[in-house]
């Protein structure tokens, strides 16, 4: 379990707290989404959860960050990274520059941690297969597109098999199919007991895959709940959180008086179908019907 208690943080020499009194509890073997506007402190929270604050970035951190019963501030960074894997926002910078092929890049972290050679080869093959990058293994990481680099960056952390995975906007450069695939892989990882904390902006995928969402706004956790509760909350605009297309359409319909004001807003397609009373009988006419 991950537990943050009364965590506040200010970057070095800034004097301004970017997070204040953050309390967070994340159950093991779950996918937790953290949403919030740009500049709300998501990247900062990701670094706190992975131990890089205060070990690398320094600054003023108060409160406690406990993962698996151990306070990260009392652990050396090497011990933190063996517990928590961090996928940073920019895949270009996740690539080490120390290896000349994607295969070598994926193995880089395992080499640093002393993983046996056979085990490394097996993990590289497995993760490359999961993320469908097997055909890229012998190419240079710097010859890849942004989306391909992002998959390599994710794969480079998945091979480390850390019990906790913190991902800061891991699908920002992926196309819709790639994004769905990554979330599918995360769901499979959850099934193996990995705890995943994902900082994302894509509400439909969070609704489909996350167990719980936390909203970061006003330097603290402004709301927590199931994805359905959070994404249909009337305060999403105020928090700077995107609602799904179904919720937006339902809000518009409600504003125009087309649906009852008290009906709960839908988040997914299935809920929207029920909300708008769609069914096979009420579907719009197709060209075949017109003929």
Partner 1 sequence: MTQAQFVGTGSPVHRLNPVTKLVALLSILVIVFALPQWWVSAIVVVGVLLPAAVIARCGGPLIAVGGRILLPIVVVLVLVQGLTFPGGRTMVWQWGVLSVTSEGLLFALNVGARIVCLVLASVLLVLTTHPGDLMSALTEAGMSPKFSYIISSTLQLIPAFRSRADAILLAQQARGLAVPRNPLRRIGVMMPLLGPLVLGMFTDVEERGTAMEARGFGSTARRTALEAIPDSTAQRVARWVMPLVAVAAVVVPLVWEVL
Q: Which residues bind partner 1 (CB under 8 A)?
A: 47, 50, 52, 56, 77-78, 81-82, 85-86, 88, 90, 92-101, 103-104, 107-117, 120-121, 124, 140, 142, 153, 156-157, 160
Nearer to partner 1, 100 or 278 (CB): 100
Pairing label, strands 212-217, 220-225: antiparallel
Q: What's the rounded Cα separation, in Å, for the pair 154 and 172?
A: 12
Residue 275 half-sphere exposure, CB side, CA atoms within 13 Å? 25
C-alpha pair distances (Å), 107 with each of 125, 146, 154, 195: 10, 20, 13, 22
Distance from C-alpha of 271 to C-alpha of 230, rounded to nearest angstrom: 15
CB of 158 to partner 1, least distance (A): 12
Nearer to partner 1, 56 or 177 (CB): 56
Place of tokens 């972290």: 109
Residue 260 beta carbon to partner 1: minimum distance, rounded to whole angstroms: 49
**190 Cβ neighbours under 8 A, 6+ residues apart:** 29, 30, 31, 196, 211
Nearer to partner 1, 81 or 265 (CB): 81
Return the structure tokens found at 220: 């603290």
Of 136 and 222, which has the nearer Cβ to partner 1?
136
The answer for residues whose C-beta is within 8 angstroms of residue 121's C-beta and 6 or more apart is 107
Please list the residues that pair with 47 across neighbouring strands: none
Q: CB of residue 111 vs partner 1: minimum separation in angstroms? A: 5
Output 125 or 181, the one with its CB closest to partner 1: 125
Nearer Cβ to partner 1, position 95 or 221? 95
């Amino acid at each position: 379990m991950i537990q943050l208690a009364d965590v506040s943080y200010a970057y070095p020499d800034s004097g301004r707290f970017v997070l204040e009194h953050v309390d967070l509890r994340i159950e093991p073997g779950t996918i937790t989404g953290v949403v919030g506007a740009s500049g709300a402190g998501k990247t900062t929270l990701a670094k706190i959860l992975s131990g890089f604050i205060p070990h690398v970035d320094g600054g003023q951190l108060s409160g406690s960050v406990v993962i698996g019963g151990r306070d990260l501030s009392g652990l050396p960074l090497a011990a933190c990274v063996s517990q928590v894997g961090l996928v940073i926002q920019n895949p270009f910078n996740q690539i080490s520059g120390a290896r000349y092929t994607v295969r070598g890049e994926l193995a880089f972290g395992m080499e640093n941690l002393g993983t046996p050679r056979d085990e490394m080869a097996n993990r590289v093959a497995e993760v490359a297969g999961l993320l469908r990058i097997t055909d890229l293994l012998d190419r240079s990481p710097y010859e890849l597109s942004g989306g391909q680099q992002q998959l390599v960056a994710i794969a480079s952390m998945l091979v480390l098999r850390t019990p906790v995975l913190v991902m800061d906007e891991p699908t920002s450069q992926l196309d819709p199919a790639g994004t769905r695939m990554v979330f599918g892989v995360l769901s499979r990882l959850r099934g193996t007991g990995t705890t995943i904390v994902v900082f994302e902006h894509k509400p439909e995928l969070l609704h489909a895959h996350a167990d719980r969402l936390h909203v970061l706004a006003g330097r603290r956790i402004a709301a927590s709940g199931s994805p359905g509760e959070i994404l249909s909350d009337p305060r999403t605009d105020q928090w700077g959180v995107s609602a799904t297309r179904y919720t937006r359409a339902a809000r518009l319909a409600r504003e125009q008086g087309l649906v009852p004001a008290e009906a709960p807003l839908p988040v997914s397609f299935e809920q929207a179908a029920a909300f708008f009373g769609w069914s096979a009988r009420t579907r719009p006419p197709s060209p075949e019907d017109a003929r």
